[in-house]
C-alpha cells in the first residue's frame, strides 16, 4: 500500500477493482465501512462478478476478466478528453513535461513498441527514454505542448480507448462505465480523494504489472498520490506476505528490494556501477544514490568480520543469477529433471502453482522433497493416490518426502508486516504441538548441519557457507528479537557526524536510528535497510501499541513501526503544491512552514529542503517526479497497452496480430496446451471466499462447516443453455485438465456482450484440495495455464478458457 488501512477512512471515493476486499480482506474492509458511514464516501466496484464487496457498493460495473488495463486507460482517456484531471499536479509532479527520444515509437496497428525482437519475445528498451540535454539533464517542455512530450504521447496513446471501445473490449455497458468515470473524475481537483484497493485480481495476469501501473497513472492524473484517502493500495494476502517480499524472499531481489547479483555483475563495483541513479534534473534528491550504503551494510550483516573492503565485503560469495528463478521457472526446470531436490517452507505448490498435472509430474521427478509446514499439505502428499482427486501410481514415485512440522503463528513470537507496511510485534500464545519446531530453529539446524559437513569434509566452494556470520546467543535458536535487531542494523565502529567530526552519532555496537546512518565503508551493518528504525536503542518499536491519533487522520504514529522511517503515507510531500502549500485545506497533510516540512506524518522528503530549491516530491526517482511514461523499467512497454489473456474468447480488437503480451515468457510445452475458444468457449476466473484462507483453513472444522465444498458459479442463462441444475454436478475442463464440482447458479455472474458476442463466465473458488476437513476436491490449478506476468511471473490465474457440462453424479469418493 502507498497509504495505510486506517487511511482509507479519509477517502471520499473508494474504487475496488481487481480485488474483493469485503470477501478477501474483511477486517480491513472495516475502513471502507467507516469511510461510507462517517464520511459519506461512495464505493465503486468493478469486477467480473457481483461480489460481496459489490453487495455493499453504491455502484457496480461488470467487466470481462482480464480487461482491466483497457478499462483504466478508458478512464484516463475520459479525464484527458474532458479536462477533468489535476492539471497542476500533472504538470509539476509527473513526467508529463519530459520529452521522449525521437527513436521511440508505438505501432498501434501492430500493438508493438520500438525495439521488439520477436524471436526472443523481448524488447531492446534503449529508445524508451528521455531526450537528454547538453547540461546532462532530461529535456522538458513545461507547456506540455511538444508533440513528443510524455503528455502528448499519452494523450495520443489513450485516445483509442473511447467509451465505445471500452464497451467492445470489456463488455462493460457504456452508461455504467461513464458513471464510474464521472465519480472518479470528481476527485481530480485536490479537494476530494479516491483510494484504489486491488489484490490478485490485478496481479494474476500475464500483464498484471501494467494494469497496476495504469491505476498508478490514473491516480497521478487525479493528484491522488501522497494525499490522505488516496493511493494505490495493494491488499496483501497472507498475514506476512508483505514481510516476505520486504526481506527478499522473492527470487529476484535481496532484502529491502535491493538487486539480486547477476552473472553480468561479477564484482560489487560492477553491480553498483549499473545503479548510479544520477539525478535527471538539477537539485533532485534521487534517494537511491544511497544504494551502495544499504548494499554494503547488508553484506556486513551477512558475513560480519569476514566482509572487508578488500574482498568487496564478500560480494563474491553471493550467488549470481543468469535468469529469473521464479516459481514458474523452478517448476519448469523440475519438470525437465534439472532440479532434483526441493525445500518447501510454508508453500503448497501442488495446489498453488498452475497446471497441477505438470506439478505432479515435476514433483515425481525429484529425489527428495522437504515440507516445512504446520499442516500436512497436498504437496507433501502428492505421491498418495486419492482417486480422481489425485490420480497417481504411488509405486512409480521415487521421491523421498520429509515432513518437518513447524509451529504456527500463535506458537512463536516475531513480527508481522501488514499491507500498510506496518510491522506489528506479536507474542507467543501457546507451545507448538508434538515435535513441531519454529521455522527459525528448523532452518538454523539445517544450516549448522550443512556448515559442519563443510567444516569436516571441505567441498567445492565452502566459503559462501563458512563465511556466514552466525553469532547468535544460541546458534541453534536465533531469537526473533535478535533477528529484528539485525534487520534494524547497528554501528560497528563509533560513527562520527560527517558535518561535525567531533560529534559521535552512534557508539560502536549501538543500534542505528535509521537507514540515514548507514555507511558504505563497512562501519555499519543492516540486514534489511527499509526495516532500519524498527529496533533502535529506544527498543523494539514494532511492539508499540499506542493507538493515539492526534490528527484524527488515521496516522497512529506510535502504533508498531511502518517502513520506511515510520512513514504512513508514501510520497506525502505531494500533498502540498510546488510552493509547499496544501493543495486544499480539506486534504492538508504535509506542508512547508517556512523552515521545515511539517504535518502529522514523517515527511517523505528532506525535512529542511525549501520549496524554492524545486526538488520534486518523488525522491526515489532520479527525475524527482512520478512517471506516466515508465522509461525502460517495464518488460512490455513504457505505456500500458491492452493485451488479451493467453486464453481469450475474442481477438484483440486493437491489434489482432499481437493479441497477447508480446514480452511474456512461455515455456516450451506450455504454449501447446493453451486452449482455443472453439473447444473452450467460456471465460474462467478463480478467486477467494471469505469463509476460507488460502489452502489452510480447509484443515479447520469451523471453516469447513461454513463453506464445506468446492463449487463453480455460472449464470442462470448458461445453466439453462447447458442443462445444469442449481446444486447439481458439473464437469469443468480446460486443455490441461478437468474437475468435477457442484454448480451454484447465480445472477451474480453477469453475461456480457463483448464486441457483439455473448461471453459467459465460469467462476471457481480456490481453497479446496484433497487433504483436510472440507470435502475432497481437485484443486482449480488442474485447469489453469502455466504462464505468468512478463515482469513478475505471477501466474495467470484470473482469466483462461474452459468448457462445462452437466453430470448425473459426483466423483467417486476414495
Partner 1 sequence: MATLQSLDLKRRSATAGTPPAARQTLEVSKLIDISKCIGCKACQVACMEWNDLRAEVGEVHGYYDNPGDLSPSTWTMMRYTERDNPDTGDLEWLIRKDGCMHCSDPGCLKACPSPGAIVQYSNGIVDFVSENCIGCGYCVKGCPFNIPRISQTDNKAYKCTLCSDRVAVGQAPACVKACPTQALVFGSKEDMIVHAQGRVADLKSRGYKNAGLYDPPGVGGTHVMYVLHHADQPQLYAGLPNQPRISPLVELWKGAAKNVGLIGIGFAAFFGFMHYVVNGPNRVSKEDEEAAVKLKEGGK
Between 23 and 167, whose beta carbon lies closer to partner 1?
A: 23
Give the Å distances, CA to CA, from 151 to 76, 142, 619, 690.
12, 10, 21, 42
Q: Quick one: which of 81, 269, 651, 726 contacts partner 1 (CB under 8 A)? A: 726
Q: How is residue 432 annotated by DSSP? A: P
Min separation Cβ 767 and partner 1, Å: 12
User: Of the listed pieces 313-321, 396-404, 589-597, 725-733, which binds partner 1 according to CB under 8 A?
Assistant: 725-733
Nearer to partner 1 by Cβ, of 642 and 688: the residue is 688
250 or 704: CB nearest partner 1: 704
Min CB(713)–partner 1 separation in Å:
10
Distance of alpha carbon 395 from alpha carbon 39, whole angstroms: 63
404 close to 796: Cβ distance less than 8 angstroms: no
Pick between residue 765 and residue 795 the one whose CB is nearest to partner 1.
765
Tell me the C-alpha distance between 391 and 660, whole Å. 33
DSSP-derived pairing of the beta strands 490-491 and 524-525:
antiparallel
CB of 726 to partner 1, least distance (A): 4
Nearer to partner 1, 36 or 591 (CB): 36
C-alpha cell at 398: 521415487
Asked if 627 and 142 count as a contact pair (C-beta separation under 8 A), the reply is no
| Cβ 461 to partner 1 shortest distance, Å | 52
646 vs 711 by CB, closer to partner 1: 711
Q: Which three cell numbers, joined as nine digits, stand for 416?
A: 508481522
- Minimum CB separation from partner 1 for residue 650, in Å? 24
In the structure grid, which three cell numbers stand for residue 556, read together?
Answer: 497512529
Check if the beta carbon of residue 536 is closer than 8 Å to that of residue 511.
Answer: yes
Binding to partner 1, residues 14-43 (CB under 8 A): 22-23, 26-27, 29-30, 33, 36-37, 40
Does position 309 interact with partner 1 (CB under 8 A)? The reply is no
What's the closest the beta carbon of residue 181 comes to partner 1, in angstroms?
A: 18
Closest distance of CB 416 from partner 1, Å? 18
- Contact status, residue 94 vs residue 76, Cβ threshold 8 Å: no
CA–CA distance, 34 with 207 (Å, rounded to integer)? 33
Q: Cα(473)–Cα(489) distance, rounded to whole angstroms?
A: 17
Under the binding rule (CB under 8 A), the answer on residue 175 touching partner 1 is no
Please provide the DSSP assignment of 233-294 as one string: EE--SSTTHHHHHHTT-STTEEGGGEEPPBTT--SHHHHHHT-----SSTT---GGGGHHHH
Q: Smallest distance, Å, CB 231 to partner 1?
A: 21
The CA-based angle 142-148-154, given to 5 degrees, is: 90
Nearer to partner 1, 2 or 418 (CB): 418
CA distance 592 to 611: 8
Nearest-approach distance from CB 387 to partner 1, in angstroms: 18
Per CB under 8 A, 742 contacts partner 1: yes
Binding of residue 747 to partner 1 (CB under 8 A): yes
Binding mask 473-512 for partner 1 (x = CB under 8 A): ----------------------------------------
Residues 691-710 interacting with partner 1 (rule: CB under 8 A) = 691, 701-710
Of 29 and 643, nearer to partner 1 (C-beta) is 29
CB of 733 to partner 1, least distance (A): 20
Residues 6+ apart with CB under 8 A from 460: none
Return the beta strands (E) in 36-102 as ranges. 42-47, 59-62
Residues 162, 168, 170, 175, CA torsion sign: positive
Distance of alpha carbon 192 from alpha carbon 102, whole angstroms? 38
Rounded-to-integer distance, Cα 7 and Cα 31, Å: 8
Q: Which of residues 57-76 bind partner 1 (CB under 8 A)?
A: 58, 60
d(CA 214, CA 641): 9
Out of 105, 392, 775, 806, name the contact with partner 1 by CB under 8 A.
Answer: 775
786 scored as a contact of partner 1 (CB under 8 A): no
Pattern of binders to partner 1 over 371-390, x per CB under 8 A?
A: --------------------
Q: Is residue 746 near partner 1 by the rule CB under 8 A? A: yes
Question: Can you say how many angstroms the Cα of residue 254 is from the centroid of all Cα atoms in its chain?
Answer: 16
Out of 731, 773, 792, 806, which residue is the one contacting partner 1 (CB under 8 A)?
773
Residues facing 106 on adjacent strands: 113
Q: Which is nearer to partner 1, 60 or 382 (CB)?
A: 60
With CB under 8 A as the contact rule, the residue among 273, 459, 475, 727 that binds partner 1 is 727
Query: Residue 568's Cα: distance from chain center in Å?
Result: 18
Q: How far is the CB of 676 from partner 1 (least distance, A)?
A: 31
Bridge partners of 525? 490
Nearer to partner 1 by Cβ, of 187 and 777: the residue is 777
CB of 551 to partner 1, least distance (A): 22
743 counts as binding partner 1 under rule CB under 8 A = yes
* Binding segment (CB under 8 A) for partner 1, from list 110-118, 208-216, 288-296, 723-731: 723-731
Which CB, 482 or 773, lies closer to partner 1?
A: 773
Which residue carries 489452502 as its cell? 695
CA distance 576 to 565: 20
**Residue 444 parent element (H or E):** helix 439-457
- What is the SS3 string spanning 651-681? CCCCCCCCCECCCCCCCCCCHHHCCCCCCCC
Tell me how many residues contact partner 1 (CB under 8 A).
Answer: 45
Binding characters for partner 1, 198-237, by CB under 8 A (x = yes)? ----------------------------------------
- Min dist. Cβ of residue 46 to partner 1 (A): 14
Residue whose CB is less far from partner 1, 118 or 702: 702
Q: By CB under 8 A, tell whether 270 contacts partner 1.
A: no
- Among 103, 71, 96, 100, CA closest to 205: 71
Supply 650's cell numbers: 475474442
66: left (phi over 0), alpha (psi -120 to 50) or beta: left
Residue 474 · residue 443 · CB < 8 Å: no
Stretch that binds partner 1, among 232-240, 405-413, 422-430, 721-729 (CB under 8 A): 721-729
**344: Cα within 13 Å, side-chain hemisphere:** 31
Give the nearest distance from C-beta 33 to partner 1 in angstroms: 4
Answer yes or no whether residue 56 interacts with partner 1 by CB under 8 A.
yes
Stretch that binds partner 1, among 151-159, 297-305, 767-775, 796-804 (CB under 8 A): 767-775
Q: Is 690 in the site for partner 1 (CB under 8 A)?
A: yes
Q: Residue 370 CB, nearest distance to partner 1 (Å)?
A: 31
Contacts with partner 1 by CB under 8 A lie at 22-23, 26-27, 29-30, 33, 36-37, 40, 50, 52-56, 58, 60, 690-691, 701-711, 725-728, 742-748, 773-775
Amino acid at each position: 500500500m502507498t497509504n495505510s488501512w486506517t487511511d482509507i477512512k479519509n477517502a471520499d471515493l473508494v474504487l475496488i477493482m481487481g480485488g474483493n476486499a469485503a470477501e478477501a480482506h474483511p477486517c480491513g474492509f472495516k475502513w471502507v465501512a467507516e469511510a461510507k458511514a462517517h464520511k459519506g464516501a461512495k464505493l465503486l466496484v468493478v469486477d467480473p462478478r457481483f461480489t460481496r464487496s459489490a453487495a455493499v457498493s453504491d455502484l457496480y460495473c461488470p467487466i470481462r476478466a482480464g480487461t482491466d488495463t483497457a478499462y483504466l486507460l478508458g478512464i484516463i482517456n475520459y479525464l484527458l478528453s474532458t479536462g477533468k484531471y489535476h492539471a497542476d499536479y500533472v504538470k509539476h509532479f509527473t513526467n508529463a513535461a519530459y520529452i521522449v527520444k525521437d527513436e521511440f515509437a508505438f505501432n498501434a496497428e501492430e500493438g508493438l513498441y520500438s525495439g521488439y525482437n520477436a524471436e526472443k519475445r523481448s524488447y531492446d528498451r534503449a529508445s524508451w527514454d528521455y531526450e537528454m540535454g547538453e547540461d546532462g539533464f532530461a529535456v522538458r517542455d513545461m507547456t506540455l505542448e511538444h508533440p513528443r512530450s510524455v503528455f502528448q504521447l499519452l494523450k495520443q496513446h489513450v485516445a483509442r480507448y473511447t467509451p465505445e471501445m471500452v464497451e467492445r473490449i470489456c463488455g462493460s455497458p457504456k452508461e455504467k462505465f461513464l458513471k464510474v468515470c464521472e465519480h472518479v473524475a470528481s476527485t481530480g481537483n485536490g479537494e476530494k480523494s479516491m483510494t484504489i484497493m486491488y489484490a490478485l485480481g490485478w496481479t494474476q495476469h500475464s500483464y498484471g504489472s501494467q494494469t497496476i501501473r495504469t491505476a498508478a497513472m490514473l491516480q497521478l492524473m487525479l493528484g491522488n498520490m501522497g494525499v490522505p484517502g488516496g493511493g494505490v493500495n495493494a491488499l496483501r494476502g497472507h498475514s506476512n506476505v508483505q514481510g516476505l517480499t520486504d526481506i527478499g524472499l522473492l527470487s529476484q531481489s535481496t532484502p529491502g528490494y535491493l538487486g539480486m547479483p547477476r552473472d553480468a555483475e561479477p564484482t560489487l563495483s560492477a553491480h553498483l556501477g549499473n545503479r548510479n541513479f544520477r539525478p535527471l534534473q538539477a537539485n533532485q534528491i534521487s534517494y537511491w544514490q544511497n544504494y551502495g550504503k544499504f548494499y554494503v551494510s547488508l553484506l556486513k550483516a551477512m558475513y560480519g568480520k569476514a566482509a572487508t573492503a578488500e574482498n568487496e565485503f564478500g560480494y563474491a560469495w553471493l550467488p549470481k543469477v543468469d535468469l529469473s528463478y521464479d516459481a514458474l521457472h523452478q517448476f519448469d526446470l523440475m519438470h525437465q529433471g534439472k532440479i532434483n531436490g526441493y525445500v518447501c517452507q510454508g508453500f503448497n505448490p501442488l495446489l498453488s502453482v498452475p497446471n497441477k498435472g505438470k506439478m505432479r509430474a515435476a514433483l515425481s521427478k525429484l529425489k527428495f522433497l522437504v515440507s516445512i509446514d504446520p499442516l500436512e499439505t497436498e504437496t507433501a502428499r502428492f505421491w498418495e493416490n486419492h482417486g480422481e482427486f489425485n490420480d497417481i501410481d504411488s509405486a512409480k514415485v521415487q521421491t523421498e518426502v520429509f515432513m518437518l512440522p513447524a509451529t504456527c503463528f500463535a506458537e512463536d513470537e516475531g513480527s508481522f508486516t501488514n499491507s500498510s507496511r506496518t510491522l506489528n510485534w506479536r507474542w507467543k500464545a501457546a507451545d507448538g504441538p508434538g515435535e513441531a519446531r519454529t521455522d527459525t530453529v528448523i532452518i538454523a539446524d539445517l544450516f549448522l548441519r550443512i556448515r559442519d559437513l563443510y567444516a569436516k569434509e571441505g567441498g567445492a566452494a565452502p566459503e559462501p557457507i563458512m563465511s556466514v556470520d552466525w553469532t547468535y546467543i544460541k546458534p541453534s535458536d536465533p531469537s526473533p528479537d535478535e533477528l529484528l535487531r539485525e534487520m534494524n542494523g547497528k554501528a560497528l565502529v563509533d560513527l562520527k557526524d560527517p558535518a561535525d567530526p567531533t560529534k559521535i552519532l552512534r557508539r560502536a555496537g549501538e543500534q542505528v536510528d535509521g537507514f540515514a546512518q548507514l555507511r558504505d565503508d563497512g562501519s555499519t551493518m543492516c540486514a534489511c535497510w527499509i526495516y532500519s528504525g524498527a529496533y533502535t536503542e529506544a527498543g523494539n518499536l514494532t511492539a508499540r501499541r499506542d493507538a493515539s491519533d492526534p490528527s484524527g487522520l488515521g496516522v497512529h504514529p506510535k502504533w508498531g513501526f511502518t517502513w520506511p522511517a515510520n512513514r504512513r503515507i508514501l510520497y506525502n510531500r505531494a500533498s502540498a503544491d510546488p510552493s509547499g502549500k496544501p493543495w486544499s485545506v480539506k486534504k492538508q497533510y504535509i506542508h512547508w512552514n517556512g523552515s521545515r516540512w511539517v504535518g502529522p506524518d514523517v515527511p517523505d522528503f528532506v525535512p529542511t529542503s525549501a520549496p524554492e530549491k524545486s526538488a520534486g516530491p518523488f525522491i526515489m526517482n532520479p527525475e524527482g517526479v512520478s512517471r506516466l511514461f515508465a522509461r525502460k523499467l517495464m518488460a512490455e512497454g513504457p505505456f500500458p497497452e491492452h493485451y488479451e489473456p493467453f486464453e481469450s474468447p475474442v481477438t484483440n480488437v486493437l491489434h489482432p496480430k499481437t493479441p497477447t503480451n508480446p514480452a511474456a515468457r512461455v515455456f516450451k510445452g506450455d504454449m501447446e496446451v493453451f486452449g482455443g475458444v472453439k473447444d473452450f468457449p467460456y471465460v474462467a476466473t478463480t478467486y477467494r471466499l471469505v469463509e476460507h484462507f488460502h489452502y489452510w483453513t480447509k484443515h479447520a472444522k469451523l471453516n469447513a462447516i461454513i463453506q464445506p465444498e468446492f463449487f463453480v458459479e455460472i449464470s442462470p442463462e448458461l445453466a439453462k443453455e447447458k442443462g445444469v441444475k442449481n446444486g447439481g454436478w458439473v464437469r469443468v475442463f480446460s486443455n490441461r485438465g478437468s474437475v468435477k464440482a457442484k454448480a451454484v447458479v447465480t445472477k451474480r455472474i453477469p453475461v456480457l456482450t463483448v464486441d457483439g458476442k455473448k461471453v459467459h463466465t465460469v467462476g471457481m473458488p480456490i481453497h479446496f484440495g484433497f487433504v483436510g476437513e472440507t470435502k475432497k476436491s481437485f484443486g482449480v490449478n488442474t485447469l489453469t495455464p502455466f504462464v505468468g506476468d512478463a515482469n513478475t511471473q505471477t501466474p495467470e490465474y484470473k482469466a483462461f478458457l474452459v468448457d462445462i457440462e452437466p453430470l448425473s453424479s459426483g466423483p467417486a469418493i476414495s
